Amino acid sequence: MDGTSPPDADAAASKAGHVAVEDAVSTKVQKAATPLYVSRIKVHPKDVKGLYRRIKWAVLALCLAVYYLAPFLRWDRGPTAPDQAILIDLPGRKAYFFMIEIWPQEVYFLTGLLILAAITLFLVTSLFGRLWCGYACPQTVWTDLFMWVERKIEGDRNARIKLDAAPYTGEKIAKRALKHTAWIAIALATGGAWVLYFDDAPTVIRDVFTGNATLTQYFFIGMFTATTYTLAGWAREQVCTYMCPWPRFQGAMLDDQSYVVTYEEWRGEKRGKLAKAAPGVDPWAGRGDCVDCNSCVAVCPTGIDIRDGQQLECIGCGLCIDACDAVMDKVGRPRGLIRFDTLANQACRAKGEPATHKFIRPRTLIYAGVLAFVGAVMLVALLSRATVELNVLRDRAPLFVTLSDGNIRNAYTIHVLNKTHEPRDFALAVSGLQGAVLGVAGSDVAAAPVATLSAKPDSVATYRVFVTVPAQSVRGKASSPVRFDLKPREGRGHADYDSVFLAPGR
Amino acid sequence: MPTKIEKDEITGTETTGHEWDGIKELNTPLPKWWLWTFYATIIWSIGYFIVYPAWPTLSGHTKGTLGWTQRIEIAQRMEEAKASRAPFVGRIEKASLDEIRATPDLLNFAMAGGRSVFAENCAPCHGAGGSGAKGYPNLADDSWVWGGALDDIHTTIAYGIRNANTQSRISQMPRFGADGVLNAKQIDDVAEYVLSLSKRSTNADAVKRGETVFSENCVACHQEGGVGSTDLGAPNLAANIWIYGGDKATIVESVRNSRAGSMPAWTGRLDDATIKMLAVYVHALGGGK
């Protein structure tokens, strides 16, 4: 007892076998008592210990470790490419993910990755409920971290409520200043880590601290610092309830077979404070297991009362389960009055039937099927990814040139994309026109049926190529289709490009 | 202002005292943050009025304490751009045309610079990409009046053709018809001969007569077989390439009244480095020798 509970709560607690009764009212109830427009009701979640709290800490540590450490992983790609395992190289127009390397024209891999992530989220949600919201979402992770800092500095729920109401004294100002400094420090680290994914991480860190980083880097550090501080420090559960679209449409993924946080109303009701019964009389006769201690409301990070049933605001973190289990242990009733369960199971339990859970349902089968299909398509696309590409742009001015011997010449700008880490020579040939020869602008090599183009590692080589055709090959044809074929002199790979050859048409 | 503050029962909000047929207006002030942002922008604008040009006066406008104008800014930007190009421009000034062509980064710079200067100064006559027009030679083909080597192209650009510059390239074709050197019949015959050089004549007798006329009047400049001379600026008549057109009527007109297109000298209009870049660019259009 911390002495801040109202006296009647103390009295009730002593009666109820030392179960602390929380002076917590869900935001829903608080809002119902106020007019249409009302400011946010601040939520002061209480600290809790238990299985789900431990899982939440573990996931939080894992997520933060991945976020902060991943940019420092190295992956050798030879001397011509960066050795950072995960890197989005915007100036170089490339994205690296371990052995995968993506060029701008392959951005569909990113689309595929986002589709995979979305379908996985759908599948997991339909199977296990809001695991993402409750455990892995960055909003949840950073809010949890910020709350932990707040708790360390300002104390637990009751101390914070008291501090909120207190006038500004030196102590309050000091505590608040310390809290916000700590928050901003974390936010700065968050923003700082973000830019590490866009350039060589150790270099960026050195540049940032020596003032040599680019304005863009400082801007994005500032922006993500501001959003982290605002969203995790101030907005918190409002992001989940009002800003995030995901809770709105995830209802479509959930059904009565999905795991959600449930309150066993059939055994909890009729709830009431536990009164000391006379010796020999069962204190639980004629009443439910819920002792109405409000612990579940006090620990809830979104400030709801899970006993009201399924709610949009519930992020499925399970902290109320930990709170309730602790109370059930104290009063000697079975755990799991609040538990992860399906609505169908709860209906069965209420009727005393055995709970049967169906993982395989049309919904999960469809999600799994789509997931497997998209994954397979992505895998095939990745494995068969071309290491050479060819782009051909026909010159438009002049459309064609008549040479003094009557031959017709067209000029093309050729882009050779060498996606390997070695310099390569390519043979460019043109087909579709009799007697066509290729000449490379700026090269002293005479025009020949096949031209050699070389390209540096990981780069696009640009050449201007003249295609000259004997007049009789294009007599009477204003436009003829031609195909450019590009093959490496050594090794595998092939690229072609269809273009046209223009002539006077006489 | 209403003397008595009235509260709306349903919302608990004060009214403004305005009433229309029983409908009362609630007093819902702007959010504080919005209002203060609004005031802040007003204060900001005062500073803006002082430091930047802002108010019109009878004979102009207030100048602002910073003295900022868009003209000064663009002048500064141009200076900056010039300064950033300076190292390359310096190297191009020193290098020979062949050295520029052989040095990849200089060639790259010259091609980019040449392209933009060409579009600004040359394309109005010679067309985008040097595609040419009637009276203005195509620069992408392999036929040159004054020569297609780098140095030839450079000289032509620098001093021009038939202009007031003392080093201008000059050639003068006589007006064979207008000045009575040849009669209409002879001109018709020589035109048939010129057509025969590109295998397009249909009148063998006229070609025979025209060959005599050609050897007496034209061969000194246009050479034996009409192959032309880049030293004399006499176009090749045996190729399929025509500056003014290759049909008989146009050839007759060219012989009768002569042709004397001119091109300005670019020395003095463009600096040396720019002319060098232009020469390299034009050479690379496809016809360079």
pLDDT tier for residue A15 given thresholds of 50, 70 and 90: very low
Other Cβ atoms closer than 10 A to B248: 17
Contact indicator for B192, B206 with CB cutoff of 8 Å? yes
**pLDDT for residue A18:** 64
What is the reported pLDDT for A17? 52
CB–CB contact B140 A411 (8 Å): yes
Q: In the predicted model, what is the mean pLDDT of residues A40-62?
A: 94
Q: How confident is the model at residue A256 (pLDDT cuts 50, 70, 90)?
A: confident
Q: Please tell me the total count of domains within chain B.
A: 2
pLDDT at residue B3, as a whole number: 63
Within-domain flag for B42: no
Mean pLDDT of A382-408: 90
Q: Do B140 and A401 touch (CB under 8 A)?
A: yes
The band of A6, judged by pLDDT with boundaries at 50, 70 and 90, is very low
pLDDT at A23 over 90: no
The band of B24, judged by pLDDT with boundaries at 50, 70 and 90, is confident
* A411/B286 touch (CB, cutoff 8 Å), yes or no: yes
Residue A42 predicted with pLDDT over 70: yes
Q: Which of B28, B138, B141 is the best residue to mutate to test the A interface, defined by the most A CB atoms within 10 Å of its own CB? A: B141
Q: How many H helices and E strands in chain A?
A: 17, 14
Average pLDDT for residues B6-22, to the nearest whole number?
Answer: 84
- Tokens representing A311 are 């709610």
B271 lies in some domain: yes
In a shared domain, residues B245 and B271: no
Distance from CA of B203 to the nearest CA of A (A): 22
Q: Tell me the nearest-neighbour CA distance from A404 into chain B, angstroms.
A: 5
**B141 with A399: Cβ contact below 8 A:** no
* Lowest mean pLDDT, pick from A266-275, A473-482, A493-502: A266-275
* Cα dihedral value A151, A154, A159, A165, nearest 10: -130
Whole-number mean pLDDT of chain A? 89
Q: Given a cut of 60, is residue A11 above it in pLDDT?
A: no
At A374, is the secondary structure helix, strand, or coil? helix
At residue A427 the predicted structure's pLDDT band, cuts being 50, 70 and 90, is very high
For A425, the 3-state DSSP assignment is strand
**For residues B168 and A493, which has the higher predicted lDDT (pLDDT)?**
B168
A36 to chain B, closest Cα gap in Å: 8
Distance CA A371, CA A112 (A): 11
- Indicate if the pLDDT at residue A354 is higher than 80: yes
Q: Does B129 contact A403 at a Cβ distance shorter than 8 Å? A: no
Q: Which of B11, B131, B284 sits opposite A35 (nearest CB)?
A: B11
Residues B124 and B86 in one domain: yes
Partner-chain contact B240 A403, CB within 8 Å: yes
Residue A15, class by beta-carbon neighbours within 10 Å (0-12 exposed, 13-18 middle, 19+ buried)?
middle
Listed in sequence order, the residues at least 6 apart from A466 whose beta carbon sits closer than 8 Å to its beta carbon are A409, A410, A411, A412, A438, A439, A440, A441, A447, B286
Q: Which of A404, A406, A409 sits opposite B236 (nearest CB)?
A: A404
Q: Do residues B226 and B87 share a domain? A: no
Residue of B nearest to A467 (CA): B286
The predicted pLDDT at position A35 comes to: 66
Domain that holds residue B82: 72-167+263-283
Of B101, B128, B239, nearest to A404 by CB-CB distance is B239
Note the pLDDT of residue A233: 94
| Mean predicted confidence (pLDDT) in A373-381 | 94
- Cβ–Cβ below 8 Å for A404 and B101: no
Q: Residue B142 is nearest to which of A397, A398, A403, comparing CB atoms?
A: A403
The CATH number given to whatever domain includes residue B200 is 1.10.760.10
Pair A24, A294: CB distance under 8 Å: yes
Nearest C-alpha of chain A: how many angstroms from B62? 34
Alpha carbon of residue A138 to chain centroid? 8
Q: Which CATH class is domain A388-502?
A: mainly beta
B77 shares its domain with B158: yes
Residue A36 pLDDT: 65
For residue A412, what is the nearest residue in chain B, using CA coordinates? Answer: B286
- Segment A486-492 shows an average pLDDT of 90
- Give yes or no: residues B270 and B251 share one domain: no
In this complex, the residue of A35, A36, A466 whose CB is nearest that of residue B286 is A466
B142-146 LR contacts (CB < 8 Å, sep 24+): B142/A403, B142/A404, B142/B286, B142/B287, B142/B289, B143/A403, B143/A404, B143/B235, B143/B236, B143/B239, B143/B241, B143/B287, B144/B230, B144/B287, B144/B289, B145/B228, B145/B230, B145/B233, B145/B234, B145/B235, B145/B243, B146/B230, B146/B233
Where residue A4 falls among pLDDT bands split at 50, 70, 90? very low
Partners of A260 in the β-ladder: A341
Would you state the pLDDT for residue A51?
96
Chain B residues inside the 8 Å CB shell of A405: 239-240
Tell me what the mean pLDDT of segment A304-330 comes to.
93
Domain membership flag for residue B85: yes
Chain B residues lying within 8 Å of A411, measured CB to CB:
140, 286
Q: Which residue of B has its CA nearest to A397?
A: B129
Q: Identify whether residues B275 and B135 lie together within a single domain.
A: yes
Among A400, A403, A437, the residue to mutate for chain B (most B Cβ within 10 A): A403
Chain B residue with CA closest to A407: the answer is B240
pLDDT for B229-274, tens place per residue? 999 999 999 988 999 999 999 999 999 999 999 999 999 999 999 9
pLDDT of residue A22: 80
- Nearest beta carbon to residue A398 from set B101, B131, B142: B131
Do B211 and B140 belong to one domain?
no
Query: A448, A496, A504, A463: which is closest to A480 by C-alpha?
Result: A504
**Is residue A452 scored above 70 in pLDDT?**
yes
Mutate to test the interface with A, among B32, B200, B285, B289 (most CBs of A within 10 A): B285
Closest chain A residue to the Cα of B103, Cα to Cα: A442
Q: Are residues B156 and B216 in the same domain?
A: no
pLDDT band at A134 (very low <50, low <70, confident <90, very high): very high
Residues of chain A with a CB closer than 8 angstroms to some CB in chain B: 35-36, 395-399, 401-406, 409, 411, 441-442, 464, 466
Chain B contact set for A406 (CB, 8 A):
240
Lookup: tokens for A218: 């400082």
Q: How far is A405 from chain B (nearest CA, A)?
A: 6
Give A-chain residues touching B138 at CB under 8 angstroms. 398, 401
Spatial neighbors of B15 by CB under 8 A, at least 6 apart, are B2, B6, B7, B8, B24, B25, B26, B27
Contact A411 B127 (CB under 8 A): no
Interface list for chain B against chain A, based on CB atoms closer than 8 Å: 11-12, 101, 107, 127-132, 138, 140-143, 236, 239-241, 284, 286-287
Q: Do B240 and A401 touch (CB under 8 A)?
A: no
Closest to A440 measured CA to CA, from A452, A423, A432, A456: A452
Do both B162 and B272 map to the same domain? yes
Shortest CA gap B128–chain A (Å): 6
A106/chain B closest Cα distance in angstroms: 28
| pLDDT (average), residues B13-19 | 85
State yes or no: pLDDT of A159 exceeds 70: yes
**Partners of residue B97 in chain A, C-beta under 8 Å:** none
Q: Select from B127, B143, B284 the Cβ nearest to the Cβ of A442.
A: B284
Alpha-carbon distance of A146 to A168, in angstroms, equals 22
Q: Is residue B135 part of a domain?
A: yes
Percent of chain A exceeding pLDDT 90 equals 65
Which residues of chain B does A466 touch, with a Cβ-Cβ cutoff of 8 Å? 286
pLDDT band at residue A7 using 50, 70 and 90 as cut-offs:
very low
Q: How many CB pairs under 8 A join A and B?
A: 53
- Report chain A's terminal Cα–Cα distance, integer Å: 102
Bond prior to B199 in cis (omega within 30° of 0)? no
Within this chain, do residues B279 and B241 fall inside the same structural domain, yes or no? Answer: no
CA-based nearest distance A21→chain B, Å: 34
Query: Is the confidence at residue A10, as pLDDT, over 70?
Result: no
pLDDT of residue B181 exceeding 90, the answer is yes
Q: Beta-carbon neighbour count of residue A428 at 10 Å?
A: 22
Percentage, residues of chain B above pLDDT 90: 80
Query: Which candidate, A384, A99, A63, A284, places its Cα nearest to that of A193?
Result: A63
How close B185 comes to chain A (CA, Å)? Answer: 29
**Closest alpha carbon within chain B to A395:** B129
Could you tell me which chain A residue has the CA closest to the CA of B102?
A: A442
In order, the DSSP letters of chain B are: --SS--B-TTT-PBEEEEEETTEEEE--PPPHHHHHHHHHHHHHHHHHHHHS---EETTEE---TT---HHHHHHHHHHHHHHHHHHHHHHHHHS-HHHHHHSHHHHHHHHHHHHHHHHHHTHHHH-GGG--BTTB--SSSS--SS--SHHHHHHHHHH-BSSSSTT-B------TTTTTSS-HHHHHHHHHHHHHHTT----HHHHHHHHHHHHHHTHHHH-GGG--BTTTTBPPSSSS--SS--SHHHHHHHHHH-----B---BTTB-HHHHHHHHHHHHTTTT--
Note whether A442 contacts B107, CB cutoff 8 Å. Answer: yes
Tell me whether residue B177 is in a domain: no
Reported pTM: 0.74
Read off the pLDDT band of A488 (50, 70, 90).
very high
pLDDT at B39 over 90: yes
Mean pLDDT (whole number) for A104-129: 91
Q: What pLDDT digit, counting tens, does each position of A163-210 carry? A: 999 999 999 999 999 999 999 999 999 999 999 999 999 999 999 999
Residues B96 and B135 in one domain: yes
B-chain residues near A396 (CB < 8 A): 128-129
Which residue in A394, A401, A465 has the most chain B C-beta atoms within 10 A of its own C-beta, making it the best mutation to test that interface?
A401
**Residue A192 corresponds to which tokens in the numbers above?**
């700082």
How much of chain A exceeds pLDDT 70, in percent? 95
B238 and B197, same structural domain? yes
Among A10, A48, A45, which Cα is nearest to A161's?
A45
CB spacing of A35 vs B286 below 8 angstroms: no
CB contact under 8 A, A406 and B240: yes
Q: Do B141 and A403 touch (CB under 8 A)?
A: yes
Do A398 and B129 make contact, defined as CB atoms within 8 angstroms?
yes
What is the percent of chain B with per-residue pLDDT over 70, rounded to a whole number? 99
